[in-house]
């Protein structure tokens, strides 16, 4: 789990912008589970790493990462578009960015989904999409379990959840046999290789998935996912 204050390159972001995001944006994720602040912090960390590697604007990258999942409370199936609308309508961002820059942020947010088959419109969109990947087996397990529990109430067993998850995530494998990366950043490529080694071993990943399911059940999170959390 990434600790926010320990994110590399965070100090390069405009302090006033950070204060605004921490005060006005991050609290909107308070009742999100699979897309809550631990996930957002991870995407921020990955995005700032990519911004440093490719010499991109830290403020734009940070803001897009911070806002990319806001629309989940409104429209899960097209949450990226709902997030883009929120960015466009957020008057607080106008203090920090021009209309053209807000459009870049909006497009990056709208283009971030991992299932997207067409390249994002800008390099910022490619960074956010790649930063959003869960190349960590346990993290992918508990996040996709939450999605199934919340949205697929016709499924009743962990085995059913796992089968749906494995089939869904496998759809993201590109023709070259790998999970797609738009930037092909060497750090993410290395993480992907380690992740694929475990994921492609279906039984190994099943064991991890079941262990995460049992953990969530033991600490009472499965019930809260159904009755408390607001991301779908």
pLDDT digits (tens, 9 = 90+) for 49-106: 999 999 999 999 999 999 999 999 887 777 899 999 999 999 999 999 999 999 999 9
Domain-embedded: residue 112: yes
34 and 110, same domain (yes or no): yes
- When the pLDDT of each residue in the chain is averaged and rounded to a whole number, the result is 95
Closest alpha carbon to 146 in 37, 29, 71, 34: 34
Q: What would the two tokens of residue 122 be?
A: 């800008």
Note the pLDDT of residue 1: 79
165 and 124, same domain (yes or no): no
Domain-embedded: residue 84: yes
Q: How many domains is the chain partitioned into structurally?
A: 2
pLDDT digits (tens, 9 = 90+) for 112-148: 987 778 999 999 999 999 999 999 999 999 999 999 9
Note the pLDDT of residue 101: 98
Q: What is the pTM of this model?
A: 0.95
Closest alpha carbon to 194 in 143, 118, 139: 139
Note the pLDDT of residue 76: 73
Domain range for residue 186?
A: 137-227
* pLDDT surpassing 80 at residue 168: yes
53 and 89, same domain (yes or no): yes
């Amino acid at each position: 789990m990434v600790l926010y204050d320990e994110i590399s390159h965070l100090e390069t972001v405009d302090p006033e912008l950070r204060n605004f995001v921490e005060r006005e944006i991050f609290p909107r994720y308070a009742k999100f589970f699979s897309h809550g602040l631990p996930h957002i912090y991870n995407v921020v960390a990955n995005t700032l790493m990519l911004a440093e590697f490719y010499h991109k604007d830290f403020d734009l990258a940070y803001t897009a990462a911070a806002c990319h999942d806001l629309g989940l409370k409104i429209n899960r199936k097209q949450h990226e578009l709902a997030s883009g609308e929120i960015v466009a309508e957020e008057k607080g961002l106008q203090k920090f960015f021009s209309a053209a820059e807000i459009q870049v942020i909006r497009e990056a947010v709208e283009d971030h989904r991992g299932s997207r088959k067409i390249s994002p419109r800008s390099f910022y969109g490619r960074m956010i999409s790649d930063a959003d990947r869960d190349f960590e087996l346990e993290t992918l397990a508990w996040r996709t379990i939450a999605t199934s529990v919340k949205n697929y109430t016709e499924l009743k067993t962990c085995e059913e959840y796992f089968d749906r998850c494995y089939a869904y995530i496998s759809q993201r494998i590109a023709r070259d046999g790998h999970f797609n990366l738009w930037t092909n950043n060497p750090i993410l490529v290395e993480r992907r290789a380690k992740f694929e080694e475990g994921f492609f071993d279906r039984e190994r990943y099943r064991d991890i998935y079941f262990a995460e399911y049992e953990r969530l059940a033991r600490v009472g999170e499965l019930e809260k996912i159904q009755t408390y959390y607001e991301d779908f």
